[in-house]
Amino acid sequence: MTRRAILSTIASTLAIGTTIGLMAQSGQAPSPEVGAKKGMLSTLDPSEIDTMYLQTKLGSFRLINGAGRVEIKFTGTVLISQLNGVRTVSGNVQKEFPRNAEEAKSGRELWFGTGTIVVDGGFRAIQWFGRDMSTTWQGHGLARLYGEFDNDLNTGSYHFATEPTVQYWSPYGTSVNLPPPHAAGSQKPTITKSGG
């Protein structure tokens, strides 16, 4: 099976989840230029954002229902779904999908190569898989991280600007909220005594 056929199959499979998510939404999506002129970060509530730093030598991630600025330096494949903003690509990165206006209606973009992609705006999902990745995400959303053991038996790591303690990716998947709960105004738990 050729690389193009594999990427096409992956894009088609991921489209099912995107379609289900879009069916749950009502109304028209805003214009891609909304929030793009000043940058999405300037439109977000500062109390609802943080910065997450991700890195791995081998693995994959999926950023879901996010907003803000995402800068991915990578080798591999990036799928962007339902971007409401702007995307900048540099390095040796080629667009694999869409190839024509009909495919562009899907709202998905598939990129492959070695370089950098910067997304500024809101998105349904950004998915990456490959190697030698480092990402900085300023904003909010959910990250699902899947690490693979490299030659040194490391799976990858992440931390936040507000919480510099390094955490590690799991090969079975790790779900991480941005911002982390403590940074989103979590309250001190109330302890009550129960009879018994």
Q: Which pair of tokens denotes residue 87?
A: 């995307």
pLDDT in the model for residue 107: 92
Share of the chain above pLDDT 90, in %: 56
What is the C-alpha R_g of the chain?
Answer: 18
pLDDT band at residue 15 using 50, 70 and 90 as cut-offs: very low
CA–CA separation, 194 and 191 (whole Å):
10
89-136: pLDDT as tens digits = 999 999 999 988 888 889 999 999 999 999 999 999 999 999 999 999
| H or E stretch covering 122 | strand 108-147
User: For residue 175, how far is the Cα from the chain centroid?
Assistant: 12
pLDDT in the model for residue 93: 96
pLDDT in the model for residue 90: 96
pLDDT band at residue 24 using 50, 70 and 90 as cut-offs: very low
26 has pLDDT over 80? no
pLDDT in the model for residue 160: 95
Cβ neighbours of 116 (radius 10 Å)? 14
Share of the chain above pLDDT 70, in %: 72
Determine the average pLDDT of the residues in 57-78: 96
CA–CA separation, 146 and 59 (whole Å):
6
Q: Which pair of tokens denotes residue 190?
A: 């109330």
pLDDT in the model for residue 152: 84
